[in-house]
Amino acid sequence: MTIAVITIDGPSASGKGTVAARVARLLGFAYLDSGALYRLTALHAKRGGVGWDDEASVAALARALPAEFRDDAVFLAGECVEAEIRSEEIGMGASAIAALPAVRAALLERQRAYRQAPGLVTDGRDMGSVVFPDATLKVFLTAGADVRADRRYKQLISKGDSANLPRILQDIHERDARDAARTVAPLRQEPDARLLDTSDMTVDAAVESVLAWYREALASGH
């Protein structure tokens, strides 16, 4: 019996992680934040003095990454690094190493191992295109760059962090361009993915859309 997978791909700061986590909780499925694996690898490399452009060394770290996901937090070698991996610096590092083919290959099987009964909801850039091409439902979740920048700005401010809205918007444009242009698993909407533009949607409405599409997929015998 095939284990159900819902993939939610999309650009940076689109809110796909929030939607994916809530859908997983409502369905009782496991949740994989694939971006966290890249962020953890970037942090691990930084702490070890490994340059983010050193493909072979970063890939070696990715293969043996001491990562854990538990209690709604992310751990590296037993240390909770949830706040640290969400920083803008580590986000840029994750985007840089995600363009390296050897790093993506190192993390591929690791991601597929999260597919366990009763099901999995995962978010990222290439979950539906590369990691789980046979997913039960594929969603491409996006929002306008201005909207995403504003959401990211408010998120940082709510945490007490300093934030510069024009700088965040510039970073988002740069990351979008880099993610779309890379030769390995570029960010794009797959032909069989449902488009969900959340620019004018609440989180609840976005979650309900995904759940409705999932029910449709099951009814159609996917």
Q: Is residue 222 part of a domain?
A: no
Q: Which pLDDT score is estimated for 109?
A: 85
Q: Which residue has the higher pLDDT, 13 or 193?
A: 193
Q: Is residue 214 part of a domain?
A: no
Q: Span 105-118, mean pLDDT?
A: 91
Task: Tell me how far apart the alpha carbons of residues 7 and 204 are, in angstroms, rounded to a whole number.
Answer: 18
**Domain with 45 in it:** 4-207
- Residues annotated within the binding site for ATP are 10-18
Quote the number of domains for the chain: 1
Q: Which pLDDT score is estimated for 156?
A: 86
Q: Is residue 82 part of a domain?
A: yes
Q: Is residue 37 part of a domain?
A: yes
Q: Which pLDDT score is estimated for 99?
A: 87
For the chain, the straight-line distance linking the first and the last C-alpha, in angstroms and rounded, comes to 12
Q: Is residue 153 part of a domain?
A: yes
pLDDT band at 1 (very low <50, low <70, confident <90, very high): low
Q: Which pLDDT score is estimated for 222?
A: 64
Q: Is residue 218 part of a domain?
A: no
CATH number for the domain harbouring residue 140: 3.40.50.300
Residue 88 scores a pLDDT above 90? no
List alpha helices for the chain, DSSP H.
16-27, 34-47, 55-63, 82-85, 88-97, 101-112, 145-158, 165-181, 203-219
Q: Is residue 198 part of a domain?
A: yes
- Residues annotated within the binding site are 10-18
Share of the chain above pLDDT 70, in %: 99
* Number of Cβ within a 10 Å radius of residue 159: 10
Q: Is residue 36 part of a domain?
A: yes
Q: Note the pLDDT tens digit of each residue in 23-81.
A: 999 999 999 989 899 999 999 999 999 999 999 999 999 999 988 887 778 899 999 99
pTM: 0.86
